Structure 1
């Protein structure tokens, strides 16, 4: 298991391509009515008690922290509005769309750094890798897994500078896989994929705020007092990371300007 976000863009592309093949396989099987997608209906929002602790409380602590950061004032009210609606919007993103232009795949559902195992050769290079832990697989927009990848696997630099390139890599592999499977209809376009990412941008906000800081934080700096002070105090310390603050300095304007905070 690799415990830090990989900077190697070629490795990132390899993993995104593998994810795309997996998505394309489910897309094709569903189109041929060879799988019952309705059974894949797990969701991070299914257990309200867990969602309260994992999301609502975390958003509350994050907003309190943003209020104390100089220069972040314009994000406070939009974030408060987002917190009011995150559950409703999230449930919509985790529900398969219907109609002639629907774009649904079987998402891994928890696609992050620690759910990938790597085979490393003697030269220290990644020879192969596998995904595991599919217990919250969900049939819905591919924006679910791709948003996970952006904030739980892709490095800051690659997300910031190569976002559109990664989506193109994903889409090209998706179309190629469908052709090999024998899919004869017109596949979703790259524009369709971009629209899916925009429509479901609320997922990026949730993952960027509630999951990503835990990947950046150096847990070796925690004291016994930090751990026993309670979850809110613990999360407050997580959000004090200067690295995370700098990431949010770049991400929050994008979330705001794209309309994800509403």
Structure 2
């Protein structure tokens, strides 16, 4: 098996005393006592980035009976590196705490008030910023939800887009009565720093290089290379709140298939719950839609059903606003498509810098290079702070046939739409 290096050992403070405090609070029972806890990695490598996650199996005694519970613990890595640099000031956790403590409960209340039992995400049991930044959640795997290891089919994407549409609609309707919604501004662009830009420029450079290896696509190499440095300004502009936007919503911000858990029955996905609200941001709805087209939808879904999926989302969005009795102006489908076109530089950015992570698993990329095996523990370690290793692995991803097929079809479209012009 493969694990993130920074999740192999839980921090010293994550012990029985910590979980006893958590459970006393969540169960409102000061007499509760923890008898045993086992902590294991909470996700697979590549399933998340801006945090480390553990699963804790806790046995305890409460009100004269023995109990066992599974908890998900999200915190900041102890080791220095890129993750810690991003998370050290706690701003991303602040956003997620606001989402779980204030915004999500209001969204659920609004949905229930019109007879809609849509569940958007798991429950947050407790959180703290001192002495350690930490959030503890219910483990929804115990309710039959699990992760997926591939991008979504059309039917699955429609389940996710229905949640997105209702989320967006609820945010529009609540924006004036829950004013904190409009203050959330720590989206993807806000966590960009020189180190991130260097990594993303390196990824764009990898695409420019492989274009030279594809017969008939050599002329795209210079266009792609020219995106480096310049594309970041375009992306930052997309994420900025602008009066010129036809309308705004609260974007989830990181709407990809690894930030969801799926209830599957008889090999059919029945429900999806959303996770990870650290970069939720008030802005153009195109942010979530474009991001999800590249980080949630399978190639077949995006290429063959893009228009259908956008209209499906729009119809659900409008239906929800009407259910809420929303009195404001309801945007048209044309308004939405104009917003998506206006934000087109986000498409080329995601396709060139992010998409290989979606099309090629970390395990597949590691197969192309020497593996870091721990001789004592017997498992493979993946260190997300090791940028040199990540770049080596990414090179393999950019040369995978699946990514080549996507980009050879997409680059001419990006060219004719002007997305390669910066």
TM-score by length of 1: 0.91
Aligned to 1:179: 322
Which one of the candidate residues 399, 410, 413 is aligned to 1:251? Answer: 410
Is the CA contact (8 Å cut-off) linking 1:45 and 1:51 kept in structure 2? no
Q: CA separation in 1, counterparts of 2:166 and 2:341?
A: 22
Aligned to 2:189: 45
Which segment is superposed worse, 215-224 or 184-193? 215-224
Q: How do residues 22-33 of structure 1 correspond to structure 2 at under 5 angstroms?
A: 22-30=167-175, 32-33=176-177
Q: How do residues 85-164 of structure 1 correspond to structure 2 at under 5 angstroms?
A: 85-98=230-243, 102-121=246-265, 123-164=266-307
Which one of the candidate residues 160, 176, 184 is aligned to 1:15? Answer: 160
Which one of the candidate residues 180, 187, 208 is aligned to 1:36? Answer: 180
Gapped regions of structure 2 (runs ≥ 5): 1-146, 373-381
Q: CA separation in 2, counterparts of 1:111 and 1:11?
A: 14
SS at match of 2:282: strand
SS at match of 2:250: strand
Deviations 1:186-214 (A, max 9, x none): 31110011111111011111111222112
Q: CA separation in 2, counterparts of 1:192 and 1:2?
A: 33
Aligned to 1:3: 149
Q: CA separation in 2, counterparts of 1:103 and 1:253?
A: 30
Comparing both chains, which one has the higher relative contact order based on Cα–Cα distances under 8 Å and sequence gaps of 6 or more? 1
Q: CA separation in 2, counterparts of 1:208 and 1:253?
A: 13
Deviations 1:200-252 (A, max 9, x none): 01111111122211222252423326988644333222111011101111111
Deviations 1:106-144 (A, max 9, x none): 1111111100101223x2322322001000111111111
Measured after TM superposition, the shift of residue 39 of structure 1 is 2.8
Aligned to 2:202: 57
Higher-helix-fraction structure: 1
TM-score by length of 2: 0.58
Alpha-carbon spacing, 1:143–1:50, altered in 2? closer, same or farther (3 Å): farther
Alpha-carbon spacing, 1:236–1:261, altered in 2? closer, same or farther (3 Å): same
Q: CA separation in 2, counterparts of 1:6 and 1:168?
A: 17
Is the CA contact (8 Å cut-off) linking 1:61 and 1:232 kept in structure 2? no
Which segment is superposed worse, 108-117 or 37-46? 37-46
Q: CA separation in 2, counterparts of 1:141 and 1:126?
A: 29
SS at match of 1:5: coil
SS at match of 2:149: coil
Q: How do residues 225-240 of structure 1 correspond to structure 2 at under 5 angstroms?
A: 230-240=389-399
Alpha-carbon spacing, 1:191–1:244, altered in 2? closer, same or farther (3 Å): same
Q: CA separation in 1, counterparts of 2:333 and 2:182?
A: 26
Aligned to 1:209: 352
Q: CA separation in 2, counterparts of 1:174 and 1:54?
A: 36
Measured after TM superposition, the shift of residue 33 of structure 1 is 4.4
Is the CA contact (8 Å cut-off) linking 2:398 and 2:404 kept in structure 1? yes
Q: Which has the larger radius of gyration?
A: 2
Q: CA separation in 1, counterparts of 2:389 and 2:328?
A: 54
Deviations 1:65-87 (A, max 9, x none): 21232211232232233324211
| Count of residues in correspondence between the two structures | 258
Is the CA contact (8 Å cut-off) linking 2:253 and 2:287 kept in structure 1? yes
SS at match of 1:68: coil
Measured after TM superposition, the shift of residue 38 of structure 1 is 4.3
Is the CA contact (8 Å cut-off) linking 1:104 and 1:141 kept in structure 2? yes
